């Protein structure tokens, strides 16, 4: 296979055992070994490869392509059994930057992307907690979201146009157009339109009633106000419908001034009402993390001092003193809530913070407005680094992201979180909970000893219980991290049999031979995307490419 591909492929092909080992893992719990890793030089390589795979699928029945960028996917979306196509080596360049629109190749790392945009006072506000590691193609493939999503929404709202290689090997420019122009478009557009119209009511009812969702194919987003936008279906599809070779993002201006209000909750009962009151003040960000996350930060404080100068380390230690005193007094809060406000001046920002604290004074909680960026960065560091602290420092166990991205409406949180803790408590797992309180989206990261024979059983039964709870509160099983291998088997629980059939139809319209990242979104009978596949592909050793 490799020799045949190298006749037309100008990039690099690698099937060395150490390379296949590396690419058999992403940031999920899985290990899936590919047969070949390819690094495309340009879009022509992608076009020629997809065309060759399509033509040779009968000759090599197991042939498929899994597009991959930085490998920070926590759902198992960036691993596959056949060809892994890595864009970060060559296809990582800036294509154009005009006004507030920027076009890049999918392999560009977000940290490089942000360095370019910040020079013009602009930002893509859907960056993730792993923004120092993830790449732009992954943000498109997973419909990324993060701490600023409360105000700005997910990546889907910032896609202007894309160049996408479809399963027949053709590269198309995809952008929104008036519905009246549908007759002049090719068959994929027409078939998707017909599928949506034929199942309009089913699709409308299937849309999760939450602020953000990454489960399934987003058919409910394709047509709005007589505009047809196929990018609203491609974004978040994890490379199962097409492979993006260029992505144009719309950026927003950076708010120059911002301040953080920190709220320490000793009782979760009023959380839903508290979030509702805070949201009325329109914060830019509303995040939260639990007492276990705060304890990790205090316990492994030295980790936060790495890469800091002596002066920076001293400043950081000073701002951490209140947390150390909390430990000594035994007064850890159940939840720390972070509300960030921004404005055009320092006074405007301060006024917003004070107005919000006045509005929630009746809750009688400890509230602190940060004095400067150093103090605010302390709280953000705790929020962003908890995953890494867990995986690095807890001996004999490793992080197990499998119920890591649940979401319910914020008004349900005061009932939902205690019930969630009750379920998790039955399994006697060490875990942290952190996430986006303003959206009702929380990331649950358990620690598990993967040498135990009952690990697959725990993963399956705990997932069933947690997702049943989420669906009782009309939520989604994934708000940001997507389906991948870990949640595809549970999509039927969330959407029902008929909607799963519609998802299969979507996959068939775009990819009739099932060559694009099979087993994600739509299961392969007896293969990827099934509960049996989860059991047989859990990585027994600690994955080396974790990086969220």
Q: What is the pLDDT of residues 468-486, one digit of tens each?
A: 999 999 999 999 999 999 9
With a CB cutoff of 8 Å and minimum separation 6, the contacts of 109 are: 70, 88, 92, 133, 134, 135, 136
Rounded-to-integer distance, Cα 203 and Cα 177, Å? 21
Rounded to an integer, the average pLDDT of 20-25 is 97
**Beta partners for residue 248, in sequence order:** 103, 161
- Does the pLDDT value for residue 157 go beyond 90? yes
Q: Report pLDDT for 545.
A: 39
Contact 259, 377 (CB under 8 A): no
Q: Report pLDDT for 86.
A: 98
Going by pLDDT thresholds of 50, 70 and 90, the confidence category of residue 381 is confident
Going by pLDDT thresholds of 50, 70 and 90, the confidence category of residue 34 is very high
The model's pLDDT over 428-456, given as tens digits with 9 standing for 90+, comes to 888 888 889 999 999 998 889 898 899 99
Going by pLDDT thresholds of 50, 70 and 90, the confidence category of residue 372 is confident
Rounded to an integer, the average pLDDT of 29-55 is 98
- Does the pLDDT value for residue 378 go beyond 80? no
With a CB cutoff of 8 Å and minimum separation 6, the contacts of 274 are: 263, 265, 337, 360, 363, 365
Q: Report pLDDT for 85.
A: 98
- Does the pLDDT value for residue 548 go beyond 50? no
Contact 135, 87 (CB under 8 A): yes
Q: Which of 523, 208, 292, 537 is nearest to 402 (CA)?
A: 537
| CA–centroid distance for 206 within its chain | 21
Rounded to an integer, the average pLDDT of 113-121 is 97
Q: Report pLDDT for 546.
A: 38
Going by the DSSP 8-state scheme, the letter that residue 167 receives in this structure is T
* 88 phi, psi to nearest 5 deg: -75, -20
Q: Report pLDDT for 388.
A: 63
The model's pLDDT over 62-100, given as tens digits with 9 standing for 90+, comes to 999 999 999 999 999 999 999 999 999 999 999 999 999
Q: Report pLDDT for 543.
A: 46
Rounded to an integer, the average pLDDT of 249-267 is 92
Rounded-to-integer distance, Cα 195 and Cα 219, Å? 9
Rounded-to-integer distance, Cα 298 and Cα 508, Å? 51
Going by pLDDT thresholds of 50, 70 and 90, the confidence category of residue 332 is confident
Going by pLDDT thresholds of 50, 70 and 90, the confidence category of residue 375 is confident
Helices (H), ranges, 119-235: 136-142, 149-152, 187-198, 200-206, 231-234
Q: Report pLDDT for 391.
A: 59
Please give the sequence-ordered ranges of beta strands (E in DSSP) within 52-185, or none if there are none: 65-68, 83-86, 94-98, 101-104, 122-123, 159-165, 171-175, 177-178
Rounded-to-integer distance, Cα 6 and Cα 12, Å? 8
- Does the pLDDT value for residue 396 go beyond 80? no
- Does the pLDDT value for residue 544 go beyond 50? no
Q: Report pLDDT for 373.
A: 76
Q: Report pLDDT for 4.
A: 96
Q: Report pLDDT for 389.
A: 62
- Does the pLDDT value for residue 307 go beyond 60? no
Q: Which of 422, 547, 534 is nearest to 29 (CA)?
A: 534
Q: Report pLDDT for 308.
A: 58
Rounded-to-integer distance, Cα 426 and Cα 431, Å? 12
Q: What is the mean pLDDT of the chain?
A: 91
**Beta partners for residue 247, in sequence order:** 104, 162
Q: How many CB atoms lie within 10 A of CB 319?
A: 17
With a CB cutoff of 8 Å and minimum separation 6, the contacts of 145 are: 126, 128, 153, 154, 155, 212, 436, 479, 480
- Does the pLDDT value for residue 130 go beyond 70? yes
- Does the pLDDT value for residue 504 go beyond 80? yes
Rounded-to-integer distance, Cα 149 and Cα 11, Å? 36
- Reduced to 3 states (helix: H, G, I; strand: E, B; else coil), residue 268 is coil
Residue 153 burial (10 A CB sphere; 0-12, 13-18, 19+) = middle
Going by their DSSP bridges, the two strands 257-265 and 227-228 should be labelled as unpaired
Going by pLDDT thresholds of 50, 70 and 90, the confidence category of residue 374 is confident
First to last CA, the chain: 34
Q: How many CB atoms lie within 10 A of CB 135?
A: 27
Q: How many CB atoms lie within 10 A of CB 118?
A: 11
Q: How many CB atoms lie within 10 A of CB 266?
A: 12
Percent of the chain with pLDDT over 70: 89
In the numeric block, which tokens belong to residue 231?
């990018």
Higher pLDDT, 432 or 499: 499
Rounded-to-integer distance, Cα 300 and Cα 252, Å? 36
Q: Which of 45, 49, 83 is nearest to 63 (CA)?
A: 83
Going by pLDDT thresholds of 50, 70 and 90, the confidence category of residue 397 is confident
Ranges 209-218, 297-306, 528-537: which has the least confidence: 297-306
Q: Report pLDDT for 300.
A: 64
């Amino acid at each position: 296979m490799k020799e045949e591909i190298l006749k037309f492929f100008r990039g690099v092909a690698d099937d060395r055992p150490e390379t296949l080992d590396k690419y058999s893992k992403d940031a999920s719990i899985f290990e899936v070994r590919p047969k070949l890793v390819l690094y495309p030089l340009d879009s022509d390589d992608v076009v020629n490869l997809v065309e060759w795979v399509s033509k040779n699928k009968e000759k090599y029945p197991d042939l498929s392509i899994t597009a991959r960028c930085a490998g920070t996917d926590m759902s198992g979306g960036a691993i596959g059994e056949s060809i892994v196509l890595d864009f970060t080596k060559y296809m990582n360049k800036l294509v154009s930057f005009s006004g507030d629109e920027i076009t890049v190749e999918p392999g560009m790392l977000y940290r490089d992307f942000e360095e370019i945009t910040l020079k013009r006072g602009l930002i893509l506000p859907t960056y993730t907690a792993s923004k120092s590691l993830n790449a732009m193609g992954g943000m498109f493939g997973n419909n990324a979201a993060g701490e600023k999503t409360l105000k700005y929404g997910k990546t889907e709202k910032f896609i202007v146009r894309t160049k996408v290689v479809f399963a027949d090997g053709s590269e198309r420019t995809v952008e929104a157009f008036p519905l009246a122009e549908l007759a002049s478009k090719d068959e994929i557009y027409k078939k998707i339109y017909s599928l949506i119209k034929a199942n309009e009511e089913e699709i409308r009812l299937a849309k999760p009633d939450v602020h953000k969702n990454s489960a399934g194919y987003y058919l409910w987003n394709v047509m709005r106000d007589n505009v047809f936008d196929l990018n609203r279906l491609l974004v978040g599809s994890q490379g199962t419908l097409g492979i993006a070779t260029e992505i144009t993002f719309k950026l927003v201006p950076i708010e120059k001034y911002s301040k953080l209000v920190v709220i320490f909750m000793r009782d979760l009962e009023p959380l839903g009402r508290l979030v509702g009151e805070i949201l009325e003040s329109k914060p830019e960000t509303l995040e939260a993390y639990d007492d276990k996350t705060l304890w990790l930060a205090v316990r492994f404080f030295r980790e936060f001092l790495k890469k800091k100068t002596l002066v920076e380390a001293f400043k950081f230690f000073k701002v951490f003193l209140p947390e150390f005193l909390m430990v000594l007094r035994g007064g850890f809060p159940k939840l720390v809530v972070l509300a960030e406000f921004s404005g055009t001046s320092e006074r405007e920002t301060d006024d917003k913070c004070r107005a919000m604290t006045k509005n929630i004074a009746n809750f009688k909680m400890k509230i602190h407005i940060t004095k400067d960026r150093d103090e605010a960065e302390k709280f953000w560091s705790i929020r962003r680094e908890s995953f890494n602290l867990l995986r690095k420092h807890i001996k004999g166990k490793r992080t197990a992201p499998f119920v890591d991205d649940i979401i319910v409406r914020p008004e349900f949180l005061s009932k939902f979180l205690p019930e969630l803790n009750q379920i998790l408590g039955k399994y006697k797992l060490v875990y942290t909970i952190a996430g986006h309180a303003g959206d009702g989206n929380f990331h649950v990261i358990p620690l598990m000893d993967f040498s135990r024979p009952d690990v697959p059983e725990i993963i399956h039964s705990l997932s069933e219980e947690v997702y049943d709870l989420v669906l009782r509160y009309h939520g989604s099983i994934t708000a940001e991290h997507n389906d991948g291998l870990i949640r595809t088997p549970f999509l039927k629980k969330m959407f029902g049999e008929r909607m799963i059939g519609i998802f299969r139809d979507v996959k068939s319209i775009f990819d009739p031979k099932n060559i694009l990242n099979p087993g994600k979104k739509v299961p392969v009978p007896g293969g990827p995307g099934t509960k049996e596949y989860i059991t047989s592909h859990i990585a027994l050793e600690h994955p080396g490419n974790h990086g969220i």
